[in-house]
C-alpha cells in the first residue's frame, strides 16, 4: 500500500473537457437487425448522406451516397457489418446486423 505524506502530494485535478458541443446531426439506423434488404438512415438534415459499409474483416462492401432513400443491403450475406455514415462533416459508426 502506498500513501502520500501530505495532501499537497496528491493532484486532485480531473481529466475533463471545458467545452462540450453536441453533434448537430443525430443519425439513426433502422430496422436493425434487418431481414428486408433495406435499411433506413434518419438524420436531422435533408442533405445527402455518404454511407460506407464494411464487413467484419474490414473490407468495404458498399460505398454510396443517399438522398432520402433507404440503403439497399440485399446483396449482402447474413452477418454483422460496420456502417460509417457521414453528412456535413458529422460522422458516426454503427453496427448493422443482417439476418
Higher confidence at residue 29 or residue 3?
29
User: What is the pLDDT, as a whole number, of residue 20?
Assistant: 44
DSSP symbol at 20: -
Evaluate if pTM is beyond 0.75: no
Cis peptide before 30 (omega within 30 of 0): no
What size, in residues, is the chain?
A: 99
Residue ranges of domains in the chain, CATH in brackets: 7-98 (2.60.40.3080)
Distance in angstroms between the alpha carbons of the first and the last residue of the chain: 52
pLDDT surpassing 60 at residue 19 = no
Instruction: Please state, in angstroms and rounded to a whole number, the distance separating the CA atoms of residues 10 and 80.
Output: 46
The four Cα atoms 53, 90, 27, 85 give a dihedral, to 10 degrees, of -10
Return the CA Rg of the chain.
21
What average pLDDT does this structure show over 23-38? 83
> Could you report the per-residue pLDDT of 36-90, keeping only the tens digit for each?
999 999 988 889 999 999 999 999 999 999 998 999 999 999 999 999 999 988 8
Amino acid at each position: 500500500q502506498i500513501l502520500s505524506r501530505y495532501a499537497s502530494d496528491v493532484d486532485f485535478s480531473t481529466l475533463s473537457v471545458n467545452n462540450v458541443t453536441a453533434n448537430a446531426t443525430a443519425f439513426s439506423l433502422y430496422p436493425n437487425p434487418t431481414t428486408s434488404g433495406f435499411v433506413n438512415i434518419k438524420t436531422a438534415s435533408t442533405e445527402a448522406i455518404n454511407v460506407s459499409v464494411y464487413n467484419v474483416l474490414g473490407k468495404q462492401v458498399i460505398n454510396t451516397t443517399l438522398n432520402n432513400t433507404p440503403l439497399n443491403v440485399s446483396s449482402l450475406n447474413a452477418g454483422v457489418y460496420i456502417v460509417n455514415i457521414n453528412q456535413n462533416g458529422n460522422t458516426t459508426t454503427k453496427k448493422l446486423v443482417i439476418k
